[in-house]
Amino acid sequence: MSAIDIEQNNQVLTAADGTPLRTALARATRRAKWRAFGLVLPLLLFVIVTFAVPIGQMLVNSFHNTAFSDNMPTLSAYLSENDISGVPDEAAFEALVTDLRLARENKTIGKVATRMNYEFSGSRSQFTGAARKAKKLEPPYKEALIKLDKDWEDPLLWNIMKRAANPVGASFYLAALDMEYDETGSIVRVPEKSRVYVPLFIRTLLLSGLIAGICLILAFPVAHLLATLPLRYSNLLMIFVLLPFWTSLLVRTTSWITLLQSQGVFNDLLVASGVINDDGRFQLMYNQAGTIIAMTHILLPFMVLPMYSVMKTIPPTYVRAARSLGASSWTAFWKVYFPQTIPGIGAGILLVFILAVGYYITPALVGGSSGQLISNEIARHMLSSLNWSLAAALGSVLLFIIILLYWLYDRLIGIDNMKLG
Amino acid sequence: MAKLPAYTTTGERIWHYTYLLICVLIFLFLIAPILVIIPLSFNAENYFSFTKEMLSFDPEGYSLRHYDRILTHGMANPDIPRDSVWWKDAWANAQWIHAAKNSVIIGVLATILATLLGTVAALGLSRPEMPFRRLIMGLLISPMIVPLIITATGLFFFYSKTGLAHTFPGIIMAHATLGIPFVIITVTATLVGFDHSLTRAALNLGASPVTVFREITLPLILPGVISGALFAFVTSFDEVVVVLFVAAYDQQTIPRQMWNGIREQISPTILAVATILVIFSIILLTTVELLRRRSERLRGISPA
């Protein structure tokens, strides 16, 4: 661009090498675009490999499960080719016995039994038991198997097997939303007492909302004070906000356990000062109260910082002008100051809410059973019950909620405006 | 504190002091839990509250035994005299030291990776001609927003297919991804208001692009780069969910060891470790604060 030589006499302006200026400019812009993109490209590829692909993998796992179709090939082929309803005839049972023998030989029967047990409880022992005896079974297989376990003539089990024969299916999403297929194959909600995940999602959203609300109430005065004090005081007080922000999550959780457990500092203090007696110690840990208190403390800086940066930009003269025009201090605050803080409040609430919805560590350590959130259930299915597809489906639902909130945040505040410290 | 104007009514005066009291209480809520564990970690008893001896400042009530336990836990022969053999044993076998080594290795390498990639990308992202800026920025920041449990679940599936599970490179890459948003945010923040005529002047004077970056751009954005790196390091140093999901059993890190300790039976050793970590975070906070001021001074923003 630096060497553009404009020929005044010509109709078409050209660059030094004779190309028309318009083309040269377009080329230079294109090159600049590519140069900027080239700087971002390595990181983009890195994040795609270590972040986007894994999450895609999780999404795939939530509706794609080959445990049955891979290890029971004959029966899966039979079930997908023939349109059966209810309990099928001898041919299907023959395929079943062939596959049971195969799975027993390949030692994959455990996978099949576990997969079926997700949807048909008690079928684990039914499958492993049948596989163990499959070698000795004689035709007709239908009668032989039913003699082993009468569940083999349950049409519900055959419906489930028919669906599992197809590796792609929504059954884990249904489970994640407390729904199931009934005998006729239509989708119904599970009985009220076994609904687990929808109430847990609701609890997660309610607790996150509550925590965001408490954070707002606590952050507002602090942010206001920090924004109105002279810089030398506010920089000092800022440490109170930033130190928790920089302190390890586990350290802060440990502190709260130490403080609030029934033999902890807080209860000891109350007993020593005679407010409560020794039997009346408050149970503040290992329940919902623990989750709320600890998470409020942990997320409070995320509320204070965006509110502070917005309040910092509000000129103090506005409130003074309102007062001199005769407004009471409340009116001046409510009608003039408060509306200007709303962008900060919005940013803070959304950020805290987004972070709270996905919290795992703190509820797991201080939440007991009533303070668990949806993340804890995902972790349980990943690490102990090993129902990975269900964990992936629950994770996908959670991810959907987060993306929705993230989109909202971007629309209202803009991610480029996120600030740290 | 600024003086109240003369026209303040009595009611407003009362409200003003109540407001200050409320603020003090909230500051107390923020800081007290972190500070309270420091004296408790010197407790001579295996107890989580202040004992009578501690409250009367009796030296008997205080001890360093929980700090000692950080070293001796997991050692082969903790009871022999403390000579070079003992220290060698501690360095090789003590569980907390083993965890600290892993945390530092993972943290440093993840930080280097995140800072290098993140800084270069931030340079591209803050150019006005960058295409799809908003979309790409959204993707690069999202590891900070997406819950760790989801990232960890995805990584678990991905790593077990690619053989990265239970390996250090796997954990390091994952932690670098989690640190990248912080580097991007801090470096782009320093690039706001960056005077591009400086680089153009350097180019005009015949400097190569690499020289321009080294001599002009880097010194100016360095405070942002360093604080981004510190954020990335702390993120990795504090991260436990991904480690729980993708690391092998013997790949302990400090937060993972704390997590296990709190889950099984919380012991005062945890408080001693926590105290050390609090001191560590005070040092980090001070560094970042000094860097921020330096950056503002360099760019002439701060009124000082």
Domain architecture of chain B: domains with CATH: 90-296 (1.10.3720.10)
Cβ–Cβ < 8 Å for A358, A364: no
The ipTM estimated for the assembled molecules is 0.88
Do B176 and A378 make contact, defined as CB atoms within 8 angstroms? no
Cβ-based contacts of A253 with chain B (< 8 Å)? 262
Cα–Cα nearest to A222, from A301, A340, A313: A301
Give B61-108 pLDDT, tens digit per residue. 888 888 888 888 888 888 888 888 888 888 888 889 999 999 999 999
Query: Please, which residues 71-130 of chain B have a Cβ atom closer than 8 Å to chain A?
Result: 117-118, 120-121, 123-125, 127, 129-130
Which run of H or of E encompasses A181? strand A179-181
Cβ–Cβ < 8 Å for A141, A92: no
Between the two ends of chain A, the Cα-to-Cα distance in Å is 40
Do A358 and B150 make contact, defined as CB atoms within 8 angstroms? yes
Q: In sequence order, which residues have a C-beta less than 8 Å from that of residue A106 and are 6 or more positions away?
A: A71
Do B176 and A38 make contact, defined as CB atoms within 8 angstroms? no
Q: List alpha helices for chain B, DSSP H.
A: 10-40, 52-55, 65-72, 84-93, 95-125, 133-145, 148-162, 168-191, 196-204, 209-212, 218-237, 241-246, 254-264, 268-298
Across the interface, of B155, B240, B303, the residue whose CB is closest to A54 is B155
Cβ-based contacts of B37 with chain A (< 8 Å)? 251, 254-255, 258
Indicate the pLDDT class of residue A2, thresholds 50, 70 and 90. Answer: very low
In this model, does residue B299 exceed pLDDT 70?
Answer: no
| Residue A251: burial class (beta carbons within 10 Å; 0-12, 13-18, 19+) | buried
Which structural domains are found in chain A, ordered by start? 1-63 (no CATH), 67-166 (no CATH), 197-417 (1.10.3720.10)
In this model, does residue A13 exceed pLDDT 50?
Answer: yes
DSSP-assigned letter for residue A49: I
Give B30-40 pLDDT, tens digit per residue. 999 999 889 88
Q: Using H for helix, E for strand and C for coil, what is the string for A348-361?
A: HHHHHHHHHHCCCH
Cβ-based contacts of A247 with chain B (< 8 Å)? 34, 277-278, 281
Give the count of Cβ contacts less than 8 A between chain A and B: 277
Do A420 and B186 make contact, defined as CB atoms within 8 angstroms? yes
Which residue in this structure is represented by tokens 């001579």?
B44
Report residue B88 as tokens.
């060698």
Highest-scoring range by mean pLDDT, A174-183, A265-274, A389-398: A389-398
The predicted structure's pLDDT at residue A205: 95
- Could you tell me what percentage of chain A is helix, strand and coil, using 3-state DSSP and rounding each to the nearest 5? 75, 0, 25
The predicted structure's pLDDT at residue A62: 92
Distance CA B118, CA B109 (A): 14
Rounded to a whole number of angstroms, the distance from the CA of A33 to the nearest CA of chain B is: 5
Q: Are strands A179-181 and A187-189 parallel, antiparallel or unpaired?
A: antiparallel
In this model, does residue A303 exceed pLDDT 90?
Answer: yes
Which run of H or of E encompasses A179? strand A179-181
Do A51 and B177 make contact, defined as CB atoms within 8 angstroms? yes
* Residue A19 region by backbone torsions, left for phi larger than 0, else alpha for psi between -120 and 50, else beta: beta
Q: Which long-range contacts (CB under 8 A, 24 or more apart) does B165-169 make?
A: B165/B246, B166/B246, B166/B247, B166/B248, B166/B251, B168/B105, B168/B106, B168/B251
Rounded to a whole number of angstroms, the distance from the CA of B80 to the nearest CA of chain A is: 32
